[in-house]
A and B are shown apart, each in its own frame.
Chain A
């Protein structure tokens, strides 16, 4: 196997947002870059293909963002969802740097939407990409190509040879052949391991086999495992991930945004024994995201069932698969394979616990609650009475895992012996360095952009 030495200064492993930000930054610093992307071209971009927005600090109105969103408020939002499990130093770095990222993204071809309809009201905190994440990815590939960055698709990296404090070479397969390349520096931005069901099962146990993977099927953690096996410092809990409850009929991989269900607050959710499991009315967003994926994962067969009635059908975003529809609870129970008697008991107990619903307000915490019910429903509690009745099934949808490479504020990787002098990491593969648990919408793109740029800058400085 011939070892390529001369052609490239830096090899970037991965082809999503973080990888592209790193590649563009390093190329602008004069380095010669090769991107090795495992996916074929139509699937390039990893999970960034499915993203939609970027959470951004700003002291005054910035691009599409209104008012201000301060470092402290951003951090406190992060602390809320992570329960404090974050590296505050790196989190503040990501938050602080996000402000300069937005104009940088625009300079590199990203276009933002002025405002949006939908149900999410994030106009102050999150900037939405015009056309979504794939259009961002497209723009970055165009810009990178203009900067002379080379890309190989369907190039699967199999091994990084760590020798003491440096990576000596990178092995990859391309067009059925094995290749070896020895660049001056390497940037790993190849995501988590969620698409490797075996690894997920090792971490979570058998229930993980029933999880759906919302994002790219190409994030199988091959490079991550290879580096961890060689003693590269890791961070994060293997059972922690960005998991949400999604439509149970979603594809096993790559369902993306359309599989989300916004109906939970207006529903009751039961498990396969027709028992309610949690307060459906606790909050709308983003708390639902943080909670329901794990709630469903803890149920028998990792499934949940949402039940609403006719008066709630138009209160949430349209679902990609139509709901099951029935005139009676018996009929609906039959369609969902739920024990009908138990379901009727659960619903009638819930209905009986609902009180005055005149204060019902679908877009705010309305305090329309049940009384004397366990678990309670603390908002939007209206009896389920008006046919037709509708049902959805829920499953746990994993977006990305948090176990990854530990990095410092220069995005540099290390072993117990100290820094690896030519290895940097960015994006979901190092996200555990900042996110201990929970998730904040648009924060994945923030980490990817901030640490991608840092990795690109540092690697180029080293390679030049």
Chain B
């Protein structure tokens, strides 16, 4: 951990703890107020609970030019990114993608190239639809590890996190509480449910919450599409291509639309926000991941629309190349935040449970 980042966040947290005016805004403050002294693990946990809604910044009487110079969203964002870089496994891969959109773009090009190479070199063994371009077995051979390796990496990273924040054995009720919280994105609603301060200084708006919802549910629908197709393939022997009214297609198209629109809107929204209330050094990496994820959705839709044209093989390479890149980068990019946030919410549910037991 970078001591100076932790130290600055700790300085600010101690001032917040003496003030407490923000306690109604989000999960960070009740958790912060439960302590009198903050270990590095406490600060890491607070950082990952923060959703950078900025409500506390605009409500704060101690922001610059005040000599206390509070900017908690920024301090926590910097600790958060730094913590992900430290928890990530394997380490050397971790540092680049959080901060460099260019690195993400380069990875994307490599992803396209790998898929094109696969299509040229392996090709089809005579299947239909997409399998006419790249055989089903080849796709599985490429994407199963591309999916499982990042998951394995994230699992190791989360173990590091869990150890750092002094996590306890997880109960079902912790999971339920965390998923409910994340599902509604309560921390982006401020205590009064009117959204966050992001794109227009202190005005409360639901824009970021709704857009983030679109991205999250879009992603989950796309994921569901692939999962359902896998089950249909292996369990029921129903092989692609699937018709429009099939579950994989319905999930995939709706998810792709949500992803494309959501990521586009998020990129626009981020342009309007004050970069200095987040982690300025992570700007490029954040935008890179948003555009990459939006491109995954968009290229999937284009592929669907032009599936019966001569462009299909090229579009397939582009789409699958972006999916491949996206999966492989997940443990080392902003995309990992979903996992950490969920872990932080589970830990916070445990903290609340402990408090209620004590009372």
Contact = CB atoms under 8 A, between A and B. Distances in A.
Interface of A: 40, 42-43, 49-50, 52, 111, 113-114, 116-118, 129-135, 138-139, 142, 251, 254, 256-258, 314, 317-320, 322
B357 interface: no
A322 B17 CA distance: 12
Interface stretch (B54-62, B262-270, B272-280, B295-303): B54-62
Given A43-B65, A133-B61, A142 B21 contact: no
Contacts of A135: 21, 58-59, 202
A52 B203 CA distance: 20
Interface in B41-81: 55-56, 58-68
Contact of A130 (B15, B24, B60, B63): B24
B20 interface: yes
Given A42-B65, A254-B66, A318-B14, A117 B24 contact: no
A322 B18 CA distance: 11
Nearest to A262: B18
Interface string B2-25: 000000000000110111111111
Given A114-B24, A142-B202, A320 B59 contact: no
Nearest to B16: A258
A50 B61 contact: yes
- Name the 5 nearest CB pairs between A and B, nearest first: A132-B21, A131-B59, A320-B18, A135-B59, A258-B18
B123 interface: no
A138 B202 contact: yes
A131 B55 contact: yes
A251 to B, nearest CB: 6
B59 A256 contact: no
A116 B56 CA distance: 16
B30 interface: yes
A130 B19 contact: no
A129 B61 CA distance: 13
Nearest to B19: A258
Contacts of A314: 36
A52 B18 contact: no
Contact of B23 (A49, A113, A317): A113
B213 interface: no
Contacts of B33: 117
A132 B67 contact: no
A358 to B, nearest CB: 23
A49 B18 CA distance: 16
B191 interface: yes
Contacts of B15: 258, 320
B191 A138 contact: no
A65 B64 CA distance: 33
Interface residues of B, number: 33
Contacts of A134: 58-61
Interface of A is mostly: loop
Interface of B: 14-15, 17-25, 30, 33, 36, 55-56, 58-68, 190-192, 194, 202-203
Given A135-B58, A258-B62, A130 B18 contact: no
Contacts of A130: 24-25, 190-192
Given A130-B191, A131-B59, A138-B59, A52 B21 contact: yes
A310 B19 CA distance: 23
Contacts of B64: 42
Contacts of B190: 111, 130-131
B215 to A, nearest CB: 27
B99 to A, nearest CB: 29
A132 B22 contact: yes
A170 B252 CA distance: 66
B62 A131 contact: no
Given A42-B63, A258-B62, A318 B55 contact: no
B36 A318 contact: yes
A132 B67 CA distance: 19
Contacts of B24: 113-114, 116, 130-131
Given A129-B21, A256-B19, 19 more contacts: A42-B65, A111-B190, A117-B20, A117-B30, A117-B33, A118-B20, A130-B25, A131-B21, A131-B56, A133-B21, A139-B202, A142-B202, A254-B66, A256-B61, A257-B61, A317-B18, A317-B20, A318-B17, A318-B18
Nearest to A318: B17
Given A111-B191, A132-B61, A138-B202, A257 B21 contact: yes
A384 to B, nearest CB: 20
A318 B37 CA distance: 9
Contacts of A111: 190-192, 194
A117 B61 CA distance: 20
Nearest to A255: B68
28 contacts: A42-B63, A42-B65, A49-B61, A52-B21, A111-B192, A111-B194, A116-B20, A118-B23, A129-B21, A130-B25, A130-B190, A131-B25, A131-B55, A131-B56, A131-B58, A132-B22, A132-B59, A135-B58, A251-B67, A257-B19, A258-B19, A258-B62, A318-B14, A318-B17, A318-B36, A319-B18, A320-B18, A322-B14
A76 B27 CA distance: 39
A131 B60 CA distance: 8
Nearest to B36: A318
Nearest to B25: A131
A102 to B, nearest CB: 15
A42 B33 CA distance: 26
Nearest to A322: B14
Contacts of A142: 202-203
A366 to B, nearest CB: 21
Nearest to B64: A42
Contacts of A320: 14-15, 18-19
A43 B63 CA distance: 9
A131 B22 contact: yes
Contacts of A258: 15, 18-19, 62, 68
Nearest to A254: B66
A133 B60 CA distance: 9
A190 to B, nearest CB: 19
Contacts of B59: 131-132, 134-135, 138
A145 to B, nearest CB: 10
Nearest to B190: A130
Nearest to A106: B192
Given A42-B63, A318-B36, A138 B58 contact: yes
Contacts of B17: 318
A132 B17 CA distance: 14
Which one of A113, A139, A314 has the greatest number of beta carbons of chain B within 10 Å? Answer: A113
B62 A256 contact: yes
A320 B12 CA distance: 10
A251 B19 CA distance: 15
A320 B68 CA distance: 10
Contacts of A116: 20, 23-24
Nearest to A110: B192
Interface centre among A114, A130, A138, A317 (most CB of B within 10 A): A130
A155 B65 CA distance: 18
